Structure 1
Amino acid sequence: MARVVGVHGIGKQLLGEETLRQQWLPALNDGLKRAGATERLADADVAMAFYGDVFRPEGEYLAVGDPPYTSQDVEAGFESELLLSWWQAAAASDPGVVPPGAEDTLAGTPRSVQAGLRALSGSRFFAGVALRAMVSDLKQVHRYLLDPQLRVRARGRVADQISDDTRVVVAHSLGSVVAYEALCARPGHGVRALVTIGSPLGIPHLILHRLQPAPIQLGGQPRGVWPGRERLVWTNLAEDGDVVALVKDLRPAFGPHVRCARVHNGSHAHDAAAYLTDRLCGQTVKDGLA
């Protein structure tokens, strides 16, 4: 079984295990090289825990790709609040994005949703991303957190790939939430290193408070359960311009033992490959395999 398990992020429902492994394997090896490792990962060393298809509708002859979502499909509550959070984060890191005004903080009104999607479509982060894809991403996060059956299926895909040989789990974006919950559900696992990249795990109320297992209250503040034994080394990498990773420092949410670092991905702020090729990512993978 694989020594490294990768867990993909949001919006990969049209891909698959082999497609993603072909993308991740060379990027992981580039990161190892940057970290000075002499070892290179072979095909058999890396497995992808693919869960994207649980979000993909059954094929129909007249339907291709994402559903034709519009701004009217963004639901009030979770989806509109997450959209507003993305908008605020994009405006804070991209001078070309007009920040939300006071009238837009009432996320959930049709006007504020349309304004948010329009602003994000012009940001560096979402450049080239179709509106329907943005809405689809919002709905994927929403469905994972609020659909118990889908959540169990997605977590099972990760658990199925983790064997006694697995030493490192690298999880991107929404995949970091799936991987975290899968590891928590298997407390006896032998994973030595968890690497979360572009992770939304630290977002209070929207993500953190909805995790399974639920955070405990420590000094009046929620503290996420540690996803393994004490010896597990958890490293979280975030880019300043990555709006999905709204909370860059996970230590307040999960404790001081999470190693948090900022990386520089340029215009590809949330791209998995940009994270994987970074020296810090490579060093964490190298240490986990040693």
Structure 2
Amino acid sequence: MRRRHVIVGIHGLANKPPADEKTRWWKAAIAEGLARNEGRADPEFAFEFVYWADLRYDAPMSEDDNREPYRPYDGSGPLPGGEKAPSTTAKDVLAPVYAGIDAVEEATGVTVVDDLILEHRFDDLWHYHAEQGFARQVRARLAERLRAFRDHRILLVAHSMGSVIAYDVLRQLEREDPSLRVEHLVTAGSPLDLAKVKLKFEAEHGPLRVPNNVSAWTNLADGDDVVAIMGALEVDYGPSDTGVSVDDRRVVNAYHRPNGEPNPHKSYGYLRTPEFSRIAVTYAQTMPEAVRPTEPR
């Protein structure tokens, strides 16, 4: 029997709008990319969203406080691809500087710079590393969703801090549930290259590599997205035991706030890039909106 497809998403840092709204917006951004980049008008695909902001925040972000709602990209036709990225970006300037800091922090295990970045810029990630109870709850939500769709062909899309959670969960599932597989992992705007994050991974999971339960891993990074400061992960994350390597792709995240300001880290911009659409189109081949998990969540 042909296995059905499902796209599973997990969000990143900071408080979010209500779960149902955030889910609709992620799906709308994916659908916009499929329509504009792949010519799939009104695409239908199974989508599941792992929402964890409620574990850190007492109430969802209100409409008045949300400066970055989902907004369709202006105009028509395909969105700009990575080949249209500027030749020099913020990452090209900052990455060499951070590379030196990263090397010292990894060699010494003293992560003063990363600690400051995490505590003051990536507060949720700081708490994820510091509070074991919070980390267990977040991981459990993603693990349960993946287990519920284990009989599907899974595209797992992890944005920002969500990629840290996804990596931890996949390496954990290698040990606890080795028959579960994710067909394609996509990380977007990922901080997996921060020395503090890599040291935490190594302490818990051993040498950095592609998880063995992943058949493909694509990493998307905009050149001006300082969260993904190094851009490429393949240098630090070796191939899986079966030879699967990270495929690093530079993309153009064309998201703009309603006031016109760009945000090259925004999830919606990554989800409608041509590079992501080329992956996601495979998972829009079936009509699985009515498909539900085979196991209770």
SS of corresponding position for 2:235: helix
Q: Which amino acid is the alignment partner of residue 5 of structure 1? A: V
Contact 1:37/1:286 (<8 A) preserved: no
Report the CA distance shift for 1:91/1:237 in structure 2 as closer, same or farther (over 3 A). closer
Report the CA distance shift for 1:177/1:39 in structure 2 as closer, same or farther (over 3 A). farther
Aligned to 1:214: 204
Aligned to 2:234: 251
Q: CA deviation at 1:17?
A: 2.5
Report the CA distance shift for 1:33/1:227 in structure 2 as closer, same or farther (over 3 A). farther
Report the CA distance shift for 1:154/1:184 in structure 2 as closer, same or farther (over 3 A). same
TM-score, normalised by the number of residues in structure 1? 0.65
- The correspondence for 2:280, drawn from 276, 285, 288, is 285
Q: CA deviation at 1:58?
A: 7.7
Q: CA deviation at 1:147?
A: 1.1
SS of corresponding position for 1:155: helix
Q: CA deviation at 1:40?
A: 5.4
Q: CA deviation at 1:51?
A: 0.9
Q: CA deviation at 1:193?
A: 0.7
Q: Which runs of 4+ in 1 moved over 3 A?
A: 37-42, 89-93, 134-137, 212-216, 287-290
Task: Report sequence identity in percent.
Answer: 24
Is residue 261 from structure 1 mapped to residue 249 from structure 2 by the alignment? yes
Contact 1:213/1:225 (<8 A) preserved: no
Count of matched residue pairs: 218
Contact 1:34/1:282 (<8 A) preserved: no
Aligned to 1:203: 194
Aligned to 2:213: 229
SS of corresponding position for 1:167: strand
Q: Deviations over 1:221-242 (max 9, x none)?
A: xx41422436x11000001111
Is residue 20 from structure 1 mapped to residue 8 from structure 2 by the alignment? no
Cα distance in 1 for partners of 2:25, 2:202 equals 30
Q: Deviations over 1:76-115 (max 9, x none)?
A: xxxxxxxxxxxxx68947xxxxxxxxxxxx978xxxx8xx
Report the CA distance shift for 1:181/1:215 in structure 2 as closer, same or farther (over 3 A). closer
Aligned to 2:182: 191
Aligned to 1:151: 135
Q: CA deviation at 1:214?
A: 3.4
Cα distance in 1 for partners of 2:36, 2:135 equals 35
Q: Which moved more, 1:250-259 or 1:181-190?
A: 181-190
Aligned to 1:36: 38
Q: Which amino acid is the alignment partner of residue 270 of structure 1? A: H
TM-score, normalised by the number of residues in structure 2? 0.64
Q: Deviations over 1:15-67 (max 9, x none)?
A: 2331111111111112223442648554x7111101111111489xxxxx8xx
Cα distance in 2 for partners of 1:264, 1:271 equals 11
Q: Which runs of 5+ in 2 are unaligned?
A: 66-89, 95-110, 240-244, 255-261, 286-297
Report the CA distance shift for 1:210/1:277 in structure 2 as closer, same or farther (over 3 A). same
